[in-house]
Structure 1
Amino acid sequence: MNSLFGDEPGNYLVLANTEGQHSLWPVSIGVPRGWDVVHEEDTRQGCLNFIDANWTDMRPRSLSPS
């Protein structure tokens, strides 16, 4: 069985929650409550590039220094 999250040719979104954590998300699945789209539909690699460039501190905001 193939996973929607590893479907290389599929299109994805990048989501972020209130703690600033990011997630690669298949466009075929509804956005879960508590998450917002921060990068619109793109290729898997395009979304991963966005995450690499924009999520540089893996700590949740509540644990990051001010």
Structure 2
Amino acid sequence: MNPSTKLAYGIEQAADALGISRSRAYQAIATGELSTYKDGRRRMVSAKALEAYVAKKERESQGRHAA
């Protein structure tokens, strides 16, 4: 693993990494599309959760184009 690779992000950092707004990130969390965990008082998104979110969105997009 690259030492500069982060394993977890705050919500705003996760939104930036995904290229979505902070509001859209919170909406994805509220609907269960983007999973998070709490570390003390801070809500975090793991790198794996970001990858799963992108993969899900890609599958959904491909499904729409196939129809």
Q: For this structure pair, what is the TM-score category when the shorter chain's length is used for normalisation?
A: 0.3 to 0.5
TM-score by length of 2: 0.32
TM-score by length of 1: 0.33
- In terms of fraction of residues, the more helix-rich structure is 2
